[in-house]
Structure 1
Amino acid sequence: MAKLQHCQLSSQAELVLQQHVAHEQNLSALSQEMLWQDAVFYTIFMLPYTQALELALTFISCVYERDLGQEQRLLLQQVRHWRANGGDLLRHELFEQAQTIGFDNPISCLALSVFWSEGSMTTPDLEDVYPQPWQSLAALADALCLILHFYGEQPEQQTRYAEQFFQLAHGHLRQLTPLQDQGRKNYLYHEAMLSGEK
């Protein structure tokens, strides 16, 4: 059974995922079972961070941006500005803005992911403290899952948006070169099942 390090996949996902097949095949298996939350985590952890962020921003602009309040819309614009220009000062400002808004929404989780994606979490006057590389990926996946959960009371719309995510994910995973495919090496692993275990 395949597992993702630092993620708790559903037992159903662990049974359908395979360690050494093409990502599109794994994503199709998750899609057939409608395991969209597992598919989000699988996709984000298989992509390099910059590509995962690009996927998230594309998905947000397609399905969620029109439902944002003013504070979240401004924070999203700042995340896009950081993606285009970088900058440690802006990265810290994103964290402060997200903290002010609260981390109970997808855009603040997105900003937290950016904050954790590079550099120290402390201000320049303090000793550097760095997050683990997987934390930014987990926050990014959480942001996307929150968006899909947001539409939970509208099952048809949620299903349509999950299908849109699958399409975007297929496109991004298909473009991975062997050199970029570090997620498979760093996070995906096989765990043997004990006899009699299902």
Structure 2
Amino acid sequence: MSSENKQAVGEHFSLAAMEHARVMTWKAVDQIAAAIRPGMHESEANALGKAILQELGMDRIWHPVLIRFGENTLRIFKERSVGDPVLGENDIFFIDLGAVWDRHEGDAGATFVTGSDPEMQACARAARTIYDEVAIHWRGTGCSGIALYDYAAKRARVHGWKLNIDIKGHRVSDFPHAIYKAGDLGEYDAQPAPGLWILEIQIAHPERPFGAFYEDLLA
């Protein structure tokens, strides 16, 4: 498939609608994070996430709500959580949402910390920092998706974290984007266009069993 075809969109696509989907998905992330408390099971948090998305008026979910606690923050999207952990008083969790709003796909995710563990707090901040650095690099250089993830790995090492190279971002569009299958952002050999690609950053602590995740639309 050509680079042009990998960035194809449907007849209903608009950048304004993609931004609306982005805003609404982040609104859901923030509301879910505020409602998660120590003592909650991971399965309860995932059910809560679905309920909040419905309350906000999404069209539908386009990828499963994914909320990970503790050691499960090291697991990638395609992996199942281990057990059904309870969130601790000093713990870490991330939220990953993919929902359709007005026929356009939103996808957002971030990491949060309960308590005051300084390394967990640093890990959560680092995922966002690395995302921001890579997004700025994309805006400033117009480089390929492949080069973006090479840069992300370098920035993760500079900050003292390990980038999960099995997570490499993906396409979004007007729903259903599956008809515009384009592979991972980290395998895209041309310049990613605004409003079409999700940049995902997942990092791991170099020694302790937890990590952090952050994703957003390149726009």
Q: Tell me the TM-score normalised to structure 1 length.
A: 0.30
The structure showing larger relative contact order (alpha-carbon pairs under 8 Å, at least 6 residues apart) is 1
Choose between structure 1 and 2: higher helix proportion: 1
Q: Which is richer in strand?
A: 2
TM-score (norm 2): 0.28
